[in-house]
Amino acid sequence: MNSSAESYSRALWWSVPPDPRPTLSQPEEADVAIIGGGFTGIASALFLAQAGKRAVVLEARHVGFGASGRNGGQVIPGLKHDPEELLAEYGPDQGARLVRMVGGAADLVFDTIATHGIPCAPVRGGWIQGAHSPLALKAVQTRARQWQAQGVPVEMLDRDQIAERSGTPVYFGGWRDPRAGALQPLDYVRGLARAAEAHGAVIFENSPVTGLTHEGAGWIATTAGGRVRAPRALVATNGYTGDLVPGLAQSILPVQSMIIATQPLPEDLRRTIMPGGVVLSETRKLAFYMRQTAEGRFLIGGRGAVGPAEKPALIEALRRGMARMFPQIAGIGIDHHWSGHIAMSMDGMPHLHAPAPGLHVMLAYNGRGVAMATAFGKMYAEHVATGEPVLFPATPVRPLAWHALRKPVMDLGIRWYWLKDRLGLASK
């Protein structure tokens, strides 16, 4: 049985080994000790370093080992909560600032890539959300109208238009958000890391943090070989969260997401299946997401499994889904499959916690972390640099009472979602 954790080097993106970085072997002082070397931790380190703060990152394995180095590379702005929900929940001032932040998350990614010259095949062809039923179409039209009201030049797509843009006739219609795009995620996180180091951040790899303690006015993050002392600590461990912060691992659902990728498509198919760098995901709860890569491979992913082992049934479901939607490529070989863990929250929102003075946790982007974790990193660095309250609302760490039973509960939940999808009910 393949282990999901170790599938990182099977990811399509993994052709060049990581830059060699030291393991922590002595005491270090920092302004911020960051635990986790994915987009959240590394983007925070970059923006902190740009603001003149000394950030030290401790990564258990290597930069991009977690979801950041093995995701689908879709750069999608916004949350599962639409602008009007944010405005209603957080009021006209904070709500409007949140809408601007989450709506600008893809701009931030592409600007950061341009500023630091990160070679990660960025392409900005927009994001199509395909409706799997007439009910779901109504829901996405409402979402699109809300972004339109915010001044975003979104496009509504009818059945024929979406078929023409995507190469599949299965959707009832949808919308296209032009702010979105795609990139090579491992190259992006590695590029962020190099930019952070160029600005003075320090990254230690193969340095799992085994303890995080409050001492005096600050925090001590301890590894087998050393420790980092800092007035502030940021936990950025997402779907790979352990027991450093009490109750944190029990507050999220670490769900496996899996991707398969075909061999490069022939030229004529490249022109008709999601051409121009557009990315697509569906309105189903158990949604597929898909894109074409820079080398013309077709990549399709989906979520569902729980636990450390990859489920062959999920690979088969992706293969079947691809053949159903795109019969024109059903015969093309699939030469990569891999998986990783994302953190899902029960409320569908990312979580920002401040469980003790000087300690922050940022996680649970619910599958939207490429853009959102970058934006959270910038937001956190602004908070540290200015002393202003952090923009995103902090919530207490709330362990889920049934977390120990998550596997059977989620297996049941997956069946329920499957039924909801079959009935055509709308999901976000």
Ligand X SMILES: Cc1cc2nc3c(=O)[nH]c(=O)nc-3n(C[C@H](O)[C@H](O)[C@H](O)COP(=O)(O)OP(=O)(O)OC[C@H]3O[C@@H](n4cnc5c(N)ncnc54)[C@H](O)[C@@H]3O)c2cc1C
What residue ranges bind ligand X (CB under 6 A)? 35-41, 58-61, 65-68, 70-74, 76, 208-209, 236-240, 242, 244, 257, 259, 289, 301, 339-342, 363, 365, 367-371, 373
- Nearest residue (CB) to ligand X, 269 versus 314: 314
Between 55 and 87, whose beta carbon lies closer to ligand X? 55
Report the nearest approach of ligand X to the CB of residue 94 (Å).
23
CA triple 101-104-106, angle to 5 deg: 130
Q: Do 264 and 311 meet the contact criterion of CB atoms below 8 Å apart?
A: no
CA gap 34, 424 in Å, rounded? 43
Least CB distance from residue 210 to ligand X, whole Å?
Answer: 7
Residue 31: CB atoms within 10 A of its CB come to 18
Question: Could you give the angle at the alpha carbon of 363 between the alpha carbons of 360 and 364, nearest 5°?
Answer: 150
Comparing CB distances to ligand X, the nearer of 236 and 391 is 236
Q: Quick one: which of 77, 96, 76 has its CA closest to 86? A: 96
Minimum CB distance to ligand X smaller for 5 or for 400: 5
Which amino acid, residue 131?
Answer: A
The distance of closest approach from Cβ of residue 235 to ligand X in the complex, given in angstroms and rounded to an integer, is 8
Closest distance between ligand X and the C-beta of residue 313, in Å? 16
Q: How far is the CB of 6 from ligand X (least distance, A)?
A: 12
Instruction: Please tell me what DSSP assigns to residue 3.
Output: B
Task: Compute the distance between CA of residue 279 and CA of residue 177 in angstroms, rounded to an integer.
Answer: 10
Q: How far apart are CA 398 and CA 412, in angstroms?
A: 22
Minimum CB distance to ligand X, residue 217 (Å): 23
Q: Minimum distance between the CB of residue 227 and ligand X, rounded to whole angstroms?
A: 13
- Please name which of 84, 170, 164 lies closest in space to residue 131, comparing C-alpha atoms: 170
- The DSSP bridge pattern shows strands 202-204 and 55-58 to be parallel
Between 24 and 269, whose beta carbon lies closer to ligand X? 24
Token look-up 């970059």 returns 46
Residue number, nearest CB to ligand X: 369
Q: Within a 13 Å sphere around the CA of 334, how many CA atoms are in the beta-carbon half? A: 20
What sign has the CA pseudo-torsion 43, 49, 50, 52?
Answer: positive
User: Based on CB atoms, which residue is closest to ligand X, 13 or 417?
Assistant: 13
Do 203 and 59 touch, CB atoms closer than 8 A? yes
- We find the least distance from the C-beta atom of residue 22 to ligand X, in angstroms, to be 14
Cα separation of the two ends of the chain: 32
Nearest to 65 by CA among 4, 121, 155, 120: 4
- Measured from the CB of residue 180, what is the shortest distance to ligand X in angstroms? 9
- Residue listed under structure tokens 């401790």: 58
Q: Name beta bridge partners: 29.
A: 229
When the beta carbons of 363 and 384 are compared against ligand X, the nearer one is: 363
Nearer to ligand X, 1 or 423 (CB): 1
CB of 214 to ligand X, least distance (A): 17
Beta carbon of residue 84, minimum distance to ligand X (angstroms, whole number): 22
Contact status, residue 360 vs residue 90, Cβ threshold 8 Å: no
Of residues 133 and 223, the one with the C-beta less far from ligand X = 223
Length of the chain: 428
Q: Which is nearer to ligand X, 87 or 105 (CB)?
A: 105
Q: Which is nearer to ligand X, 50 or 237 (CB)?
A: 237
* Residues whose CB falls within 8 Å of the CB of residue 412, separated by 6 or more in sequence, listed in order: none
Burial class for 361, CB neighbours closer than 10 Å (0-12, 13-18, 19+): buried
